[in-house]
Amino acid sequence: MTAKSTVRIYRGTPRNLARLARALQRGELVAVPTETVYGLAANALDARACRKIFRAKGRPANDPLIVHIHSWDQLDLVAEPNEAARKLAHAFWPGPLTIVLPKRAAVPAVVSAGLPSVAVRMPRHPLLRRLLKLTALPLAAPSANPFGYVSPTSAAHVRAGLGGKIAHILDGGPSRIGLESTIVDLLNPCAPRLLRPGAITRADLERVLEVRVRAGVARGRAVSGAQIAPGMLSRHYSPRTPTVLHAKISRVAAKRGAANEAWVFFARPSGLLGKNIFWLDGRGRLTGAARRLFHVLRGVDAGGFARIHLERARGGGLAEAINDRLARAAGGS
């Protein structure tokens, strides 16, 4: 069975959206565009459908899924929101923010990795919002790629990674942000925790909540080896090529380095050219670097290099999210 024989990419026409909504209602999987990265969606209230996500991705059962909703009514269906969550939701939804809250009984245990909490967000991408409305169901959707590999930011990326394992891909163009959503733990609304940085920055969260937002998982929160939220492994979003992260890459080192090693700068290095020289954004803009990060990593990974050298992003705000992904791509190296 080949990818070409099983997968179809759909344009976002009304007819196609209606067809894909029916597929989701039947318990099938559909790869969908979001403003962050592409996701692999299933009916979040159907345990059997959600298990298909884990099989298609090769995802371990202790890694929970994010539930995507269209309306405020759906929030109350899947989670128990508190006042802090409502503040953040009103400020940033629809948008790239995921909130961890106590789970409602309607959400199957497979979605939450057996934990009493659930991660929820209301996406902004117009095609996904139309599909959510037509489906009239919350959709569980992790990134649409083999588990642990570089996240997909185009329909072509999804087809390359999962084309032989899924039947439907909705093409919504390149992802606008390019990094997965920010995840904040509000199980204790008085002590919010930033679990995964993203386009909604720590400063954004603190401005709305008017309290300090700490990083990491509260002590004793995770049980039975389950993660409270996705994207928290030390090695994740990773190329298959061995990868090393540097605070700063020396142009001299890159110029003198082996030709079979790739060097990925944050900004374009002036006066340095070569088939093994890459950069995230020509002018060192954080939004551009975020949008291109996974695209660049995939391209370099396919280049046949023996090693990839990555340079950390510089600046505040979004740099925290970019550097988080770079560190996980390198797995601490």
Tell me what the mean pLDDT of segment 220-246 comes to: 82
What pLDDT score was predicted for residue 218? 63
**Does position 19 have pLDDT exceeding 90, yes or no?**
yes
Specify whether 29 is located in the same domain as 105: yes
| % of the chain surpassing 90 pLDDT | 87
Specify whether 210 is located in the same domain as 290: no
**Does position 219 have pLDDT exceeding 60, yes or no?**
no
Specify whether 200 is located in the same domain as 121: yes
DSSP lists the bridge partners of residue 281 as 267
Specify whether 154 is located in the same domain as 35: yes
Phi, psi values for residue 9, rounded to 5°: -100, 130
Q: Which domain holds residue 248?
A: 243-330
Query: What does the alpha-carbon distance between residue 252 and residue 254 come to, in Å, rounded to a whole number?
Result: 5
Tell me what the mean pLDDT of segment 261-270 comes to: 96
Specify whether 163 is located in the same domain as 207: yes
Query: What does the alpha-carbon distance between residue 281 and residue 261 come to, in Å, rounded to a whole number?
Result: 20
- Residue 221 pLDDT grade (very low, low, confident, very high; cuts 50, 70, 90): low
- Domain holding 148: CATH number? 3.90.870.10
Specify whether 25 is located in the same domain as 117: yes
| % of the chain surpassing 70 pLDDT | 96
Q: Is 290 domain-assigned?
A: yes
Q: Which of 4-18, 33-47, 147-161 shows the lowest mean pLDDT across its residues?
A: 4-18
pTM (2 d.p.): 0.94
**Does position 7 have pLDDT exceeding 90, yes or no?**
yes
Specify whether 152 is located in the same domain as 260: no
What pLDDT score was predicted for residue 235? 86
Specify whether 93 is located in the same domain as 176: yes
- Prior bond to 174 cis, omega within 30? no
Domain count within the chain:
2
- DSSP 8-state class, residue 55: H
Residue ending a domain, among 215, 230, 254, is: 215
Q: Of 225 and 278, which is predicted with more confidence?
A: 278
DSSP 19-45: HHHHHHHTT--EEE--SSS-EEEEETT
Residue ending a domain, among 199, 215, 231, is: 215
**Does position 3 have pLDDT exceeding 50, yes or no?**
no
Specify whether 272 is located in the same domain as 312: yes
Q: What is the mean pLDDT of the chain?
A: 94
